[in-house]
């Protein structure tokens, strides 16, 4: 298993924060979908459940190989289904990263406090961290 020093791990998550904050036309987003996750950056294959907006800048702290994000603004869920993956896009809508989404304890990259989302419900992510291995 490849292991990096803390300064390198921290630099890598800082690059991620910089990529999320890139652009100027709107907020960076996390869009949560139902269905199979496509290849990185490929066309969307599932139905959109929710679009959450990042604060700008997105980082609360970057230290020890960990990016702690500021809360993502509460948004209305726009579809029904079991969330399976999400796409992070920068402020211009350009692809940054895809990740797995699941309920608490699932081991997904993002764990949200619901097994299923329903149209009209509100969804907010109060705290999130991304840790570089």
pLDDT tops 90 at residue 114: no
Q: What is the DSSP letter of 71?
A: P
pTM of the model: 0.92
Say if residues 128 and 104 touch (Cβ distance below 8 Å). no
pLDDT tops 90 at residue 87: yes
pLDDT tops 90 at residue 131: no
pLDDT of residue 56: 96
pLDDT tops 90 at residue 111: no
pLDDT of residue 19: 98
How would residue 97 be classed by pLDDT, with cut points 50, 70 and 90?
A: very high
pLDDT tops 90 at residue 72: yes
| Lowest mean pLDDT segment, chosen from 8-12, 42-46, 74-78 | 42-46
The token pair at 55 is: 């604060």
| Per-residue exposure over 52-84, b if at least 16 CB sit within 10 Å of its own CB, e if not | bbbeeebbeebeebebbbbebeebebbbebebb
Strand bridging mode 122-125 / 59-63? unpaired
């Amino acid at each position: 298993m490849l292991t990096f020093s803390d300064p390198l791990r921290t630099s890598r998550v800082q690059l991620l924060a910089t990529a999320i904050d890139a652009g100027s036309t709107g907020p960076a987003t996390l869009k949560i979908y139902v269905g199979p996750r496509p290849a990185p950056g490929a066309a969307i294959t599932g139905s959109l459940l929710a679009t959450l907006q990042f604060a700008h800048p997105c980082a609360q702290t970057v230290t020890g190989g960990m990016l702690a994000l500021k809360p993502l603004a509460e948004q209305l869920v726009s579809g029904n289904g079991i969330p399976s993956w999400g796409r992070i896009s920068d402020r211009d809508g350009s692809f940054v990263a895809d990740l797995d989404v699941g309920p608490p304890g699932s081991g997904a990259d993002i764990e949200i406090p619901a097994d299923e989302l329903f149209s009209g419900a509100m969804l907010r992510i109060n705290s999130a961290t991304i840790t570089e291995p």
